[in-house]
């Protein structure tokens, strides 16, 4: 049984909420900076995302005429809470102390909540841009969510466990899933980009078409919290892919003393999430926005098919493994 004080520190300080905030905003800075350098711009200074949050927190909150204020206040908080909770089950310095069989499924569902809340916000905004954006968000969700789930559940199928931490331990003794399931890895990356609504999948908030989509009527702390929720989603998504496909914070051999192993694991976590972030940023910079109908065609024709091929390969390999 774990010490309750340590558990509290784990949840609230490190690697829990406090660390998560700092790291999420740092990731936003890195994302913006990398994109800016690739586009021959200077980019923001390090403290810009932090300053933005502080600034937006202090700004006036404006209620559009006739919206339900309680839901408008609650939705960003709920979105942030959902993604922050999901981070607790992702291994950072070692196996998560909260890990249980099935936490992978919980994490996947928690990560889906912000999109649904965005739809709710868009629908309740009583604004045509928000409504169109909300409908697009939920349409997009139906397209990427299936291959995303399929791709992320494949490491679980291969490892024979539904716990993220246990999958990481399994990869310690086997190869990384990135090499075992390359198709799944690519599908997961593409779908993560779509889930985070980044170019080329920033369809729900296409600036030049529908202003900011569901975000249009968000102001002040609601906007700040929603931004935070998105940054945290970025970290959670990257960390999830790092854990499931890149071996997470573990090395194949044991390091003693334990604290040194913890530090090595933490550095590995940082490096791997940043590598995923770099890939996501590069995709963002190298593409334009596609249309929702084009995404529908590409998503169901190619991405889902690729994910299904990966499922078939894993099932056959599993069968062959067991019988061999």
Partner 1 sequence: MAEVVIPIGPQHPALKEPVNFRVIADGEKIIRLELNLSYTHRGIEKGAESRDFIRVLPLLERVCGICSHSHATAFAKGIEEIMQVKIPPRAQYIRTIIAELERMHSHLLWLGVAAHEIGFNTLFMWTWRDREAVQDTLEEMSGNRVHYNMNEVGGVRCDLSPSQVQTALARLPLLEERIHKYVAMLEEEETMLLRFRGIGNMTRHEALAYGAVGPTARASGVACDARHEDPYLVYAEVPWEVVTDTNGDVYGRTCVRIGELRESAKIVRYCLEHLPEGDIRVPAPKAAPTGEILSRYEAPRGELVHFIRTNGTDKAERLDIRTPTLANWTSVAMCLTGQNLADIPVIVAAIDPCLSCTSRITVLDNNDNTSGMITFDELRKRSRARWQEQERS
- Rounded-to-integer distance, Cα 102 and Cα 10, Å: 20
Q: Which is nearer to partner 1, 195 or 272 (CB)?
A: 195
- Rounded-to-integer distance, Cα 171 and Cα 174, Å: 5
Least CB distance to partner 1 at residue 192 (A)? 18
Least CB distance to partner 1 at residue 241 (A)? 23
Q: Which is nearer to partner 1, 203 or 243 (CB)?
A: 203
Enumerate binding residues for partner 1 (CB under 8 A).
38-41, 128, 132, 135, 199-200, 202-203, 206-209, 211, 285-294
Least CB distance to partner 1 at residue 209 (A)? 5
- Rounded-to-integer distance, Cα 170 and Cα 309, Å: 23
Distances (CA, A) of 112 to 26, 119, 144, 278, 279: 23, 11, 11, 23, 22
Least CB distance to partner 1 at residue 181 (A)? 25
- Rounded-to-integer distance, Cα 302 and Cα 306, Å: 6
- Rounded-to-integer distance, Cα 94 and Cα 269, Å: 9
Please report, in angstroms and rounded to a whole number, the separation of the first and last CA atoms in the chain. 38
Q: Which is nearer to partner 1, 90 or 187 (CB)?
A: 187
Least CB distance to partner 1 at residue 227 (A)? 18
Q: Which is nearer to partner 1, 195 or 289 (CB)?
A: 289
199 and 295 in contact (C-beta within 8 Å)? no
Q: Which is nearer to partner 1, 66 or 288 (CB)?
A: 288
């Amino acid at each position: 049984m774990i010490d309750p004080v340590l558990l509290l520190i784990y949840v609230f300080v490190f690697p829990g909420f406090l660390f998560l905030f700092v790291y999420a905003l740092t990731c936003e800075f890195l994302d913006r900076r990398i994109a800016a350098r690739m586009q021959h711009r200077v980019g923001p200074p390090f403290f810009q995302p932090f300053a933005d949050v502080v600034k937006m927190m202090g700004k006036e909150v404006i209620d559009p005429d006739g919206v339900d204020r309680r839901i408008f206040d609650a939705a960003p908080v709920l979105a942030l809470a959902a993604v922050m909770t999901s981070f607790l089950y992702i291994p950072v310095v070692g196996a998560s102390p909260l890990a249980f069989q099935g936490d992978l499924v919980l994490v996947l569902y928690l990560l889906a909540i912000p999109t649904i809340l965005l739809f709710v916000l868009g629908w309740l905004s009583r604004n045509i841009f928000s409504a169109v954006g909300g409908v697009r968000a939920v349409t997009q969700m139906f397209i990427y969510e299936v291959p995303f789930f399929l791709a992320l559940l494949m490491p679980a199928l291969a490892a024979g466990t539904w716990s993220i931490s246990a999958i990481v331990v399994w990869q310690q003794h086997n190869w990384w899933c990135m090499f075992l399931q390359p198709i799944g890895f690519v599908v997961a990356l593409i779908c993560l980009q779509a889930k985070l609504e980044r170019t080329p999948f920033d369809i729900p908030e296409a600036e030049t078409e529908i202003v900011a989509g569901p975000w249009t009527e968000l102001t002040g702390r609601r906007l700040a919290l929603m931004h935070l929720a998105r940054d945290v989603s970025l970290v959670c998504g990257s960390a999830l892919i790092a854990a499931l496909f890149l071996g997470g914070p573990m090395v194949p051999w044991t390091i003693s003393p334990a604290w040194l192993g913890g530090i090595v694991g933490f550095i590995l976590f940082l490096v791997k999430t940043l590598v995923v972030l770099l890939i996501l940023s590069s995709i963002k910079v190298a593409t334009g926005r596609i249309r929702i109908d084009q995404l529908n065609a590409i998503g169901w024709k190619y991405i889902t098919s690729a994910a299904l091929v990966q499922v078939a390969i894993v099932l056959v390999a599993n069968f062959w493994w067991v019988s061999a």
